[in-house]
Amino acid sequence: MNPRAALRILPVFAVVAFGASLLAQAPAPAAVYGVVRLSTGEPAGNAIVNLKRSNGHLYSTQTSSDGTFAIEDAAPGDYRISASRDGDLPAMYGVIGSGSCGLPLALQSGRRMENIALEMAPAGVITGRIRGPDGQPAIKIPVQAMKVVYQSNRRTLQTIKSTTTDDRGEYRLFGLTPGSYLVAAREPTITITYAGTEDQQRVAYCIAASRKATQGGVLGLACDLPPGEVTPRIPPAYFPGVDSPSTATVVELKPGDTFGGVDIRIGKPVARTIRGTVRGVLPESMQSVALSLESREPGLGGAQVKLNADGTFTLTSVRPGRYLLYAKVSGANALSSITDVDVAAADLDGIDVTLSKGIEVSGHLQMDNPDALARIIGVSLSPIGDTPSAIGNLTAPVSNGVFRIQGIPPGEYQAMVTYRSPLDVYVKSMRLGTDDVRNGFRLDATPAEPLEIVAGNNGGVVDGVALTRSGQLAAGAAVILVPDASFRKRMWAFKTATADATGAFHFDVIAPGSYRILALDAVEAGAWQSPDFLSRYESEGQPLTIDEGSTRKIQIVMTPGEPLYGSCDADSMFPPPTR
């Protein structure tokens, strides 16, 4: 052989050898085999099966006619596996109900995981017809299926599905999980800007509204609204035709049900107008003032209010009810105001919204471990009860254990300590003067005494195992640590976890006190904030006393809950509580 040719060939052999070395080092793929069935036992053919890794990487395949599937090229790692198909509810592997997130799969290099079973339930459907004030079909009207949920200890409505009516005023809400629903029909919002004389403006408005009505866009709008830019805020009508969710009829939907006859007649909207002026300590520009109207009734929402340069405002098309007007100016010179507004049989004129510097709360934060103060971000006040949620969290930094929160509107609040991970703290005591205010406190004026907070990070620990009533490991059970009744208003007092594949769960940094611990096979996220939920399941809980620095090891028997179906957000199902 020519020596030069041999030299030319040598690098090729080197590359091949190097590539073979890399292949030898690469982990062998893992494989997953299983079957998807319906709750009736029938195979679910043509279902999409997704194997999703914790880093977001996704492998997908489709089931055959007998419901079987195979994924044979997955990189080793932790995964969750799900199946979906039109007309059925998504299924997650290992689900017994705790938020429908299922259990993770740990796939090992070169290993086969077989007999993975996924069960899909048929989705529910709600159908009905929407009619206008004249009894005629309402066309292109938005219709929503909503559920009552609890967020930050507040009862509110969450839209689950929405659709619009067809040319016969009929609608069909499909793909619904079983459960309790409120159904509402809402007229679309339109914005019309006028030009010309007042009479011409009103004529133009009526013509525009009539044209919209013939297209199914607007029903029953009055034609005597003032000139200018008008944004009707028509409230929803709830099944069977009431204007409040508290008096609406609940639709109970079972798996695979088609619940028909959910008909709603939209009444002629009762449009009221609120006129007023922002007064008091005024900023240099009204553009820095944020003014909002918030309903006191869950589900009715609110609206942002546009201010004129002279501080006056006009809010049109407001339904009768109880509201709060909340005004604020953010920044170093914070200003705020809360005004109660009751809208009844007539328009409201001369409403004064008086801005002031608000209330100031000063205080001290003491830590068991002084070095931990460096990881404290601040102290926040969060509105509770009837205090407008639009206020948000009012936060002040902690410097050398001292904080001062300014510009606080009158209302009811809870104080929280915010911190940087990995520090984890709990509130040991919180006093305003001589009062224990861990459950919250009312502010109507600047308090004479400071808010004194003592926090620790040597809380109790609970390590436990959840079992079924037959003694089997309750993998995927929802475990809830429920505080004593005297502290259930504290948003951070509840702790939640999901049992792993061995039924194990863990809680740490638990504030000392008395608790009950529950394990359920099904619970919707946030449901434990509902008094109705606690009254139903509290007696099933195991009493537990936590001392500072203690570690408790327990076994708990899982209680059957209401079945849950559908997909989940594994990161948000049981989020870490705020303290």
DSSP 399: B
Q: CB under 8 Å to 537, separation ≥6 — which residues? A: 518, 520, 559, 561
Region for 104 from its dihedrals, namely left if φ exceeds 0, alpha if ψ lies in -120 to 50, beta otherwise: beta
pLDDT in tens, the chain (579 residues): 444 444 444 444 444 554 555 445 678 899 999 999 988 889 999 999 999 987 778 899 999 999 999 999 999 988 889 898 988 888 888 765 434 466 778 889 889 999 999 988 888 999 999 998 888 998 888 999 998 887 766 777 888 999 999 999 999 999 898 889 999 997 654 443 333 444 444 445 454 554 444 343 333 333 444 443 344 445 678 999 887 888 899 999 988 889 999 999 987 766 788 888 988 877 777 777 888 888 877 655 566 777 888 888 887 777 777 888 888 887 767 788 888 888 887 888 988 988 888 899 999 999 888 777 888 889 999 888 878 777 888 889 998 899 999 888 888 999 988 888 766 788 889 999 999 999 899 999 999 999 999 988 888 999 999 998 888 888 878 899 998 888 877 777 888 888 887 889 999 888 898 999 999 877 776 777 777 788 888 888 899 999 988 999 999 998 876 555 544 544 333 333 334
E strand intervals along 75-218: 77-84, 91-92, 105-107, 112-120, 124-131, 142-151, 154-164, 170-176, 179-185, 192-193
What pLDDT is attached to residue 50? 93
Q: Could you give the CA distance from residue 49 to residue 71 in angstroms, rounded to a whole number?
A: 9
Give the chain's domains with CATH numbers: 30-120 (2.60.40.1120), 124-265 (2.60.40.1120), 272-354 (2.60.40.1120), 359-455 (2.60.40), 460-557 (2.60.40.10)
Minimal CA–CA distance to 125: which of 178, 63, 65, 173? 173
What pLDDT is attached to residue 212? 45
Q: Three-state DSSP class for 352?
A: strand
What pLDDT is attached to residue 126? 97
Cis bond before residue 43 (omega within 30° of 0):
no
**pTM (2 d.p.):** 0.67
What pLDDT is attached to residue 497? 87
Tell me the backbone φ, ψ of residue 94, rounded to 5 degrees.
Answer: 80, 5
b/e code 117-147 from CB counts within 10 Å (16+ = b): ebbbbbbbbbebbbbbeeeebbbbbbbbbbb
Contacts 24+ apart (CB under 8 A), 466-472: 466/499, 466/503, 466/505, 466/519, 466/555, 466/556, 466/557, 466/558, 467/503, 467/555, 467/556, 467/557, 467/558, 468/557, 468/558, 469/557, 469/558
b/e code 384-406 from CB counts within 10 Å (16+ = b): beebbbbbeebebebeeeebebb
Site of tokens 């009619």: 131
